[in-house]
Amino acid sequence: MAVKKKEVEVNLLEAIQQFCADKSLDREAVMGVIRDSLITAYKKKSGIETLEEEENPIKVEFASSGDGENVVIVVSRKVVESSPKNGLEISLEDAQAVYPNATVGEVLDFKEKPMELSRIISSQAKQMVFQRLRDMEKELLYLEYKAKEGELTHGYFQRWKKDAMSIDLGKVEGIMPKREQNPGEKYHSGDRLKAIIQKVELRPREPIPVITLSRASADFVRKLFEMEIPEIYDGLVEIVNVARQPSIRTKVVVYATRGDIDPVGACVGMKGVRIQSIVRELGNERIDIVQYSSDPTEFIANAISPAKPYDVKADSVGREAMVIVPEEQLSLAIGINGSNVKLASQLTGFRIDIKTIAQYNEEFSSPEARERLDKLFSPPAPVVEEEDDGATALEDLPGLSARLIGLLRSAGINNVETLIEISQDDLAKLPGIGQTTAAQILRILAESVEWVEES
């Protein structure tokens, strides 16, 4: 019987060590968990749960021996003449069985093996150990995958959970809800796929972190472009914005940081090789590469591709635009279920109205209608100010890139004095800027502009 107990003990420790190796857990941290759990279990057995930690006379030792590594509980007990009141006392007779020279009042160390605890207490200790180890593993996995939020990952389709897909990521499973799936795509068990890690969260009732994946988001397309287009990865071409209707059409606005680079050509590649790899990954979804322009009419004309507009009229103040196209270009301009014009509107920030040349001529045939149209879409008359006398050009701000200057000018901000009066929240609302870029612009202002109080 003694041999059997010893084998069980050694196997338990080996199992824990193997668990550490499999789950990449720190061995010392795991041993600490075992110590704490055994001490708690022993306190319950001895009826001393209320004992303060600093007064704790109970220790757990991992002692190496010829047969393996043994776990031993060491308890400091006071020798008493009468019956012991709790687990921290021992009768003189029992003490002398271990220490023949023991006397009343002495405090001596007594060793006990975990397997010698009662069956219930031993079982509770095991449960505590493995629960704490599972919690450690859950926390480590959370920290690992939380750092990967927004990154591309690979996985293997496992099964359907109602409308959600279960994806094997190696160490954990990810889920892809229906709203994050690319409509029309079908998978079989074991199929390999790419997705973006959209969100990682801890939920009390879940044994592992909940990792939400997406193939339907605009960020997924953005990451594919960063992976496939070296110029984007190197920062020579920037993605200004992405608008997407999954499985139907995606529009990507790009801008070159150097004048000798064609941003659209860099994304398309020789004979369309680069863009085709992305199209295949998206299940033959249509992708339009749109070149950014600080001129609203030119930007809208680019965004409405593949249609080629006859004319574009834009009201930068009211954020409205009219795109006039030949009759044969109308369906291209509108797109399937209006997808093309909707995505162009999202990219540019303008409400776009599509009209054919015939519709335009019919609606605005009278001189009065043409006059109203000209007033609506004509650029505001230049304000005569002492811009030449005292206004500071945006180009004079060191660190302000050509792209940012173009974005500001398209919003009617033409000099530093005007820019100073605008708050970060208002800057962030301008097309193509956002909170991060707005903070960057204000930081450049703070570093470059000397504030002078007027008396």
Does 163 lie in the same domain as 77?
no
Q: What CATH number should be reported for the domain holding residue 210?
A: 2.40.50.140
Higher pLDDT pick, 167 / 29: 167
Q: How far apart (Å, rounded) are the C-alpha atoms in residues 256 and 222? A: 16
82-86, 223-227, 284-288, 329-333: the lowest-pLDDT one: 82-86
Task: Write down which residue in 75, 109, 139 finishes a domain.
Answer: 139
Higher pLDDT pick, 366 / 358: 358
Which helix (H) or strand (E) segment holds residue 21: the answer is helix 2-23
Give the residue-averaged pLDDT of 299-303: 93
- Whether 3 is covered by a domain: the verdict is no
- Whether 82 is covered by a domain: the verdict is yes
Q: What is the pLDDT of residue 382?
A: 43
Q: What is the pLDDT of residue 58?
A: 77
Does 157 lie in the same domain as 17?
no
Q: What CATH number should be reported for the domain holding residue 339?
A: 3.30.300.20
Task: Write down which residue in 115, 139, 163 finishes a domain.
Answer: 139
Task: Write down which residue in 189, 216, 243 finishes a domain.
Answer: 216
- Judged by DSSP in three states, 407 sits in helix
Residue entry with tokens 């590649």: 269
pLDDT confidence tier of residue 372, bands split at 50, 70 and 90: low
Question: How far apart, in Å, do the first and last CA atoms of the chain sit?
Answer: 97
- Give residue-wise pLDDT tens across range 212-241: 999 999 999 999 999 999 999 998 999 999
Q: How far apart (Å, rounded) are the C-alpha atoms in residues 265 and 291? A: 10
Does 125 lie in the same domain as 92?
yes
Q: How far apart (Å, rounded) are the C-alpha atoms in residues 340 and 343? A: 5
Does 20 lie in the same domain as 159?
no
Does 112 lie in the same domain as 29?
yes
Q: What is the pLDDT of residue 6?
A: 46
Q: What is the pLDDT of residue 119?
A: 61
- Whether 386 is covered by a domain: the verdict is no
Q: Which tokens hold the place of 250?
A: 């995606």
Q: What is the pLDDT of residue 387?
A: 44
Does 209 lie in the same domain as 197?
yes
Does 212 lie in the same domain as 106?
no
Does 133 lie in the same domain as 158?
no
- Whether 307 is covered by a domain: the verdict is yes
Q: Residues 33, 113: contact at Cβ < 8 Å?
A: no
- Whether 73 is covered by a domain: the verdict is yes
- Give residue-wise pLDDT tens across range 281-299: 998 899 999 999 888 889 9
Cβ-based neighbour number of residue 393 at 10 Å? 11
- Whether 195 is covered by a domain: the verdict is yes
Q: How far apart (Å, rounded) are the C-alpha atoms in residues 415 and 235? A: 27
Give the residue-averaged pLDDT of 137-152: 90
55-69, 207-221, 266-280: the lowest-pLDDT one: 55-69
Q: How far apart (Å, rounded) are the C-alpha atoms in residues 43 and 126? A: 15
Does 229 lie in the same domain as 209?
no
User: What string of DSSP letters covers 77-91?
Assistant: EEEESS--SSTTEEE
Higher pLDDT pick, 355 / 59: 355
Closest CA to 431 of 398, 406, 414: 406
- Whether 424 is covered by a domain: the verdict is yes
Q: What CATH number should be reported for the domain holding residue 79?
A: 3.30.1480
Question: 177 is in which domain, residue-wise?
Answer: 150-216
DSSP bridge pairs for 69: 64
Write phi, then psi, for 49 (nearest 5 degrees). Answer: -60, -30
The stretches of 63-207 forming alpha helices (DSSP H) are: 92-98, 119-146
DSSP state of 54: G
pLDDT(68) > 90: no
- Whether 231 is covered by a domain: the verdict is yes
Does 239 lie in the same domain as 196?
no
Q: Please give the tally of structural domains in the chain.
A: 4
Q: Residues 201, 209: contact at Cβ < 8 Å?
A: yes
Query: CA geometry: angle at 129 spanning 128 and 130, to 5°?
Result: 95
User: What string of DSSP letters covers 212-245?
Assistant: EEESSSHHHHHHHHHHH-HHHHTTSEEEEEEEEE
Quick one: what percent of the chain has pLDDT higher than 90?
A: 30
Does 357 lie in the same domain as 264?
yes
- The answer to pTM > 0.85 is no
Helix (DSSP H) and strand (DSSP E) numbers for the chain: 17, 15
Q: Residues 295, 312: contact at Cβ < 8 Å?
A: no
Does 372 lie in the same domain as 227?
yes
- Judged by DSSP in three states, 221 sits in helix
